[in-house]
Amino acid sequence: MEEHRGFRRSYGGRLRYDRRMVLPWLRRLLRRAAWVILFAVLAGLGLLLARAFEARGKPDLMPWHRIVLAHEVHADALDARFTWADYLARERQVFDDLHAQLATAAVAGEFRYEKDSRLGARAGARDWNRSFESTPAQPRGGVLLLHGLTDSPYSVRTLAATYERAGFAVIAPRLPGHGTVPAGLLDVRWQDWRAVVRIAMRELRARVGADKPIHILGYSNGGALALDYALDALDDARLPAPQRLVLVSPMIGLRAFASLSRWLPLFGGFAYFEKSRWIDILPEFNPYKYNSFPANGALQSYLLAATLRARIAALAASGGLARLPPVLAFQSVLDSTVSSADVVHALFDRLPANGSELVLFDINRANLLAPMFRSAAAGQIDVLHGAAPRRCSRCSCCWFAPDCVAARAHSISPRSSRSRCSARSPSRSSAMASPIRRSRGISS
């Protein structure tokens, strides 16, 4: 009688199922699978443990890598009655607490946190680490400006001035965990940032009135938060809806390494491996941006971006993106942090024909610099374009031409893959002024 993996061939030639033979075979298969899984888990733990030992070789942690600011805002402790004025009051408490703790943590050397240091924000007339705002007597509209990860409101001050000159009310909140000490990002969650965006938008709408346009301008991580809020406002009438989004290097997607940030601090709870909670431990000499970078900061941005991509895909499939306001975005084709491909394919390929525009900045193609780039970099702009037509109003590409140093612009027709090239020189001020000039219109 012939036997084969649980089947027995009878003398009549028919195959018959035999459970007594299948069960041992399944047990062997499950045992082997269990050993493979166990080996993979142990190998992963071994790599993380090796990384934790490697992190011990990083520079020593300073007081600003350990300071805990008890008054920082967290989303799960807020309610609908919490206002923008309440947030500013809490922010003052945060900085008072910070200065009190720094006063008892004297450290030799040049750091931004030293009292009266040349590197400190307090040496200037204004501390741009804090939220700032301005409202003209007769505002034409309002703009909410959101800074990036490890940044502070300082990074959007020039863009805020552009809107102020145009007569817009401006609010630039300091997002929780930022503008104070790098340790502020150790326990922050991206939902905390979302909560502050909602608080600031309610205040902005109250200042400009119901009939004036509101823009949200976000840089990097702030760009993801701007888009996240706009998607929330599509289905929640209680949220003031923006009339335009301006995104600068929006963090729609991150490099693959960011996904590992969930596991890097696995052993960080042990004092011996405390440094494994940090990706970078560096001297803090920049008055308005952290140089040190905790793994949790990368993790929260990764979670925000992943959630955002899933929401965009779901709304695109259901037709919900048709109600999204026009998006003006600026993105470099080569970005060491933000995935340019996700900006193009995960966002702009799915946008409706509502006047949205993507401006891609190509590499510098001047003859003097061309040999410094890999061949793959030179063709990245074509990879991002692809052959498929886009529904967005325009996709412009700015680069330096091979035979001159004059900037040129390359426009992609929304209905055709055929391109048009013009020799104009787009300036940043004119590009940023365009959404202000069109603030009352929905289409470009």
**Interval 234-270: pLDDT, tens:** 999 999 999 999 999 999 988 767 777 777 777 777 8
Q: What is the pLDDT of residues 33-84, one digit of tens each?
A: 888 888 888 887 778 777 777 878 889 999 999 999 999 999 998 988 999 9
Q: What is the pLDDT of residues 166-214, one digit of tens each?
A: 999 999 999 999 999 999 999 999 999 999 999 999 999 999 999 999 9
Residue 428 reports pLDDT greater than 50: no
Average pLDDT over residues 303-332: 94
Distance CA 91, CA 73 (A): 8
Q: Which domains, from first to last, does the chain contain? A: 2-55 (no CATH), 63-437 (3.40.50.1820)
Q: Please give the pLDDT value at position 411.
A: 46
Average pLDDT over residues 17-43: 77
Q: What is the pLDDT of residues 216-241, one digit of tens each?
A: 999 999 999 999 999 999 999 999 99
- Confidence class for position 407, pLDDT limits 50, 70, 90: very low
186 or 104, greater pLDDT: 186
- Which residue from 243, 254, 188 is spatially nearest to 221, judged by alpha carbons? 254
Distance CA 116, CA 121 (A): 9
pTM, entire model: 0.81
* Terminal-to-terminal C-alpha distance of the chain: 79
Average pLDDT over residues 306-310: 95
Q: What is the pLDDT of residues 351-396, one digit of tens each?
A: 988 989 988 887 666 556 666 666 655 555 665 665 444 555 556 6
181 or 120, greater pLDDT: 181
Residue 93 reports pLDDT greater than 50: yes
- Confidence class for position 410, pLDDT limits 50, 70, 90: very low
Q: Please give the pLDDT value at position 34.
A: 86
Q: Please give the pLDDT value at position 443.
A: 32
Return the C-alpha torsion angle 135, 222, 424, 382, nearest 10: -170
Residue 111 reports pLDDT greater than 60: yes
- Which residue from 229, 276, 281, 232 is spatially nearest to 250, judged by alpha carbons? 229
Mean pLDDT of the chain: 81
H-helix or E-strand containing 2? strand 2-4
Q: Please give the pLDDT value at position 398.
A: 59
- Confidence class for position 430, pLDDT limits 50, 70, 90: very low
Residue 414 reports pLDDT greater than 90: no
Percent of the chain with pLDDT over 90: 50
Beta strands in 353-427 (DSSP E): 357-364, 394-400, 407-412, 419-422
Q: Please give the pLDDT value at position 173.
A: 98
Residues 6+ apart with CB under 8 A from 212: 139, 140, 141, 142
Average pLDDT over residues 90-98: 96
Residues 6+ apart with CB under 8 A from 397: 359, 360, 361, 362, 381, 385, 409, 410, 411, 412
User: What's 212-237 look like in SS3?
Assistant: CCEEEEEECHHHHHHHHHHHHHHHCC
Is residue 347 a contact partner of residue 250, using CB atoms and an 8 Å limit?
A: yes
Q: Please give the pLDDT value at position 424.
A: 36
DSSP character at residue 173: P
Sheet containing strand 244-248, edge to edge, reads: 132-134, 168-172, 141-146, 214-219, 244-248, 327-332, 357-364, 394-400, 407-412, 419-422
